[in-house]
Amino acid sequence: MPENVNRQWVLKSRPDGMPTEADFDLVQTPIPSPEYGQVLIKNLWMSLDPYMRGQMGSSPVGSVIVSESVGRVMESRLDGFEAGDIVRGRIGWQEYGLLDVTSAFPVNPDYGPISTSVGVLGMPGLTAYFGLLDVCEPKPGDTVVVSSASGAVGAVVGQIAKIGGCRVVGIAGSDEKVSYCVDELGFDAGINYKTQDVNEALGVTAPDGVDCYFDNVGGPITEAVMEHLAMYSRTVICGRISEYNEATPSMGPRILRYIHSTRSRIQGFTVNQYPAQFEEGRAQLARWVKSGQIKYREDIDEGFENCPKAFIGQLGGANFGKLLIKVSDE
């Protein structure tokens, strides 16, 4: 590999339905030089997240794919940052990137391995923290159901709910993922939506109804959960991964009668509503991780070349835990 080469994955064509590897192009450009007020970052760990599918619908064709990473400062022309510092920021699918004072965030090494700053202590962990505690408002004894339960967000949701004294039911796409939630993370019950009838299984696992539903998926799973809502239940719409590859949603709102009869609340949510509280949330999550009350699992793909394949896999459920690309050694 010649020196001064920056490899980038760019959007070659807008995906129609599920993305394919042909929608991405691996290109080479010179490593950029930071201007005054910028830092040059070498990408170490890259986070792959389902929201990136949405961005592919609006980002310009030819642009570098958007994503968050944790990396090392190689050169700094920004006050407060020095070569060698570890920072987090939206570098995108490229080996080197430029950040500035609005987009470079120092990583606190006391919190744990630096990869966690884009996982359990980063955007997915904070999503679980604020979505559950602020929107679902669980109380001890409540039944909390979470979909995509073994994933980066879902696994943290279930564990925070357990810390709060709730009964937790996780819905996931394989027996292995379900046993991980129950046997390793301490959920009370799990449902494999690929082999079980979710509606029937909820009758058994949530016999008193669902007080809080943390919805990561939408579609038929969500419709089934709605039939089990308890009175005055709270649902947070965090994600709709079952619909991300559809041009138009395959089902309409057939759930309104359940919301009506149970006087329930459904609220949409995005984690970027809470920037002022991120540090407080991160510090609490770090304490729980340190005390062992929150466990996390990373699914690491080694090699920058694998970005499209790993991302397409995530949309189909191939990842088991927080999906990361290891771009380069720390």
Ligand X SMILES: NC(=O)c1ccc[n+]([C@@H]2O[C@H](COP(=O)([O-])OP(=O)(O)OC[C@H]3O[C@@H](n4cnc5c(N)ncnc54)[C@H](OP(=O)(O)O)[C@@H]3O)[C@@H](O)[C@H]2O)c1
Judged by CB under 6 A, the residue of 211, 314, 326, 327 near ligand X is 314
Asked if 46 and 302 count as a contact pair (C-beta separation under 8 A), the reply is no
- Residues 200-229 within binding reach of ligand X (CB under 6 A): 216-217, 219, 221
Min separation Cβ 119 and ligand X, Å = 9
The one-letter code for the residue type at 206 is A
Orientation of helix 198-205 relative to helix 219-226, angle to 10°: 40
Integer-rounded Cα Rg, in Å, for the chain is 20
Asked if 211 and 234 count as a contact pair (C-beta separation under 8 A), the reply is yes
Asked if 170 and 216 count as a contact pair (C-beta separation under 8 A), the reply is no
The one-letter code for the residue type at 198 is V
CA distance 299 to 303: 13
Q: Which is nearer to ligand X, 112 or 218 (CB)?
A: 218
Min separation Cβ 32 and ligand X, Å = 29
Site track for ligand X across 225-254, x = CB under 6 A: -------------xx-xx------------
Instruction: Check residue 98 and give left, alpha or beta (phi > 0: left; psi -120 to 50: alpha).
Output: beta
3-state DSSP assignment of residue 55: helix
3-state DSSP assignment of residue 44: strand
> Would you tell me how many other CB atoms lie within 10 Å of the CB of residue 164?
16
3-state DSSP assignment of residue 165: coil
CA distance 97 to 275: 23
- DSSP letter string, 306-321: GHHHHHHHHHTT---S
Rule CB under 6 A: say whether 51 interacts with ligand X.
Answer: yes
Rule CB under 6 A: say whether 158 interacts with ligand X.
Answer: no
Rule CB under 6 A: say whether 125 interacts with ligand X.
Answer: no
Asked if 140 and 160 count as a contact pair (C-beta separation under 8 A), the reply is no
Rule CB under 6 A: say whether 281 interacts with ligand X.
Answer: no
Rule CB under 6 A: say whether 153 interacts with ligand X.
Answer: yes
Q: Which is nearer to ligand X, 87 or 225 (CB)?
A: 225
DSSP conformational letter for 64: B
Judged by CB under 6 A, the residue of 15, 19, 34, 50 near ligand X is 50
Rule CB under 6 A: say whether 19 interacts with ligand X.
Answer: no
Rule CB under 6 A: say whether 258 interacts with ligand X.
Answer: no
Rule CB under 6 A: say whether 138 interacts with ligand X.
Answer: no
Min separation Cβ 242 and ligand X, Å = 3
Contact segment (CB under 6 A) with ligand X among 158-166, 168-176, 206-214, 300-308 equals: 168-176
Contact segment (CB under 6 A) with ligand X among 6-14, 49-57, 76-84, 289-297 equals: 49-57
CA distance 199 to 48: 31
Q: Which tokens hold the place of 73?
A: 């400062």
Contact segment (CB under 6 A) with ligand X among 33-41, 60-68, 86-94, 169-177 equals: 169-177
Min separation Cβ 148 and ligand X, Å = 4
Rule CB under 6 A: say whether 152 interacts with ligand X.
Answer: yes
Q: Which is nearer to ligand X, 144 or 241 (CB)?
A: 241
Name the residues that contact ligand X, by CB under 6 A: 49-51, 123-124, 127, 148, 150-154, 172-174, 177, 216-217, 219, 221, 238-239, 241-242, 269-271, 314-315, 317, 319, 323
